[in-house]
Amino acid sequence: MGSVLQNARGGGSDLPEELRKELTDFDKRSRGLSHYEVLGIAPDADGGSVRRAYLERSRRYHPDAWYGKNLGEYGPLLSKAFQRLSTSYQVLGDEDLRAQYDKQAAAKLNATDRAAVEKRKLSREEEERRHREGRERLLRSKGFARIAAARQLYQDAVSMAENGERARAIATLQAARELDPRRPEIAEKLAQLELEAQKARARFALQNGREHEERGEMPAAIAAFAQAFQIDPKSYDGALGAARCAFAAGEVQKASTFAAKAAEVAPQGESEARLLLGKAFIELGFKNKARHELTLVLSQHPDHKEARALLKRV
């Protein structure tokens, strides 16, 4: 009987009652939580602490940890919690993104946390100064010593990258390449990290855009989404986000521009950009162009009710 009552309270879920309460509470508070609060760490936590906190909580929130269980109404909450946890780790686990986040979030932190962030920033700056001086000393190497110095810098850079210190790793690889420009793995690793850095900056801008959009801060959302698209010209989500927020803000011309860019890079079968472009063209009075875009949407999705209704207007 008790099991029946417990399942009734849990919506038929096999999740432990403690976890159900935790997920419900997290869902209510998550929007106002900082990335540090999501991971349950202090703002001056080091990289190792960030990773350990993520691994500990991901084991609890990862949907695969409850494979085969009846999640009931808590399935979406579990997925949402894991996604939020992963986003926080992507930011705090990357030293460059963490520095940007700390700068943006400073106004929302209490005095103690701001002091912790500032202390860590100064410590990182001093550490970077020592690393920079070390690279400069190695760059002065002569003869065969330059090859050995390049090898040492390459190994240091690999360790830095594994520790989430991508910017420092890139600077170190650039020094290694100067010492030994013929070593292919240096150039390959440098290209890989530079591409990863570009993608990470784009993801960070996208996340900022989504957060601003959720709060109804459309000008800031447009700017963030546009930045994501500028960093990564293939970012469909960046272009579409900028178009969507511009349309919501009444900036129809800007919406049409970004919607057109989104349509250019859209995955096959994706029609949201063309639908939005059709709406913008209707508002701008470009009926033929609107008709063209809406017809394309319907060619891919014949049962698309909104596109069909809009097409009747033009």
pLDDT in tens, 115-134: 988 988 898 889 899 999 99
> What is the reported pLDDT for 259?
97
In the predicted model, is pLDDT for residue 6 greater than 50? no
Query: Hey, what are 141's tokens?
Result: 């190497």
Of 59-63, 137-141, 172-176, 181-185, the least confident: 59-63
> What is the reported pLDDT for 33?
85
d(CA 245, CA 266): 18
Higher pLDDT, 191 or 109: 191
Of 6-20, 119-133, 166-180, the least confident: 6-20
In the predicted model, is pLDDT for residue 27 greater than 50? yes
Residue 40 CA: distances (Å) to CA of 43, 59, 109, 115, 214: 10, 14, 14, 18, 23
96 falls in which pLDDT band (50, 70, 90)? confident
Higher pLDDT, 61 or 157: 157
Predicted structure pTM score: 0.76
Residues of the chain with CATH 1.10.287.110: 2-93
d(CA 173, CA 182): 13
For 66-94, the DSSP string reads GTTS--GGGHHHHHHHHHHHHHHHHHHTS
CATH of domain 2-93: 1.10.287.110
Residue written as token pair 């940890």: 65
Sign of CA dihedral 192, 197, 200, 205: negative
**10-32: average pLDDT:** 81
CA–CA–CA angle 5, 9, 12 (5° rounding): 85
257 falls in which pLDDT band (50, 70, 90)? very high
Query: Hey, what are 18's tokens?
Result: 């403690």
Query: Hey, what are 160's tokens?
Result: 């830095």
Average per-residue pLDDT for the chain: 90
> What is the reported pLDDT for 12?
65
Look at domain 121-198 and name its CATH class.
mainly alpha
Residue type, 41: I
In the predicted model, is pLDDT for residue 3 greater than 70? no
Look at domain 216-313 and name its CATH class.
mainly alpha
Residues of the chain with CATH 1.25.40.10: 216-313
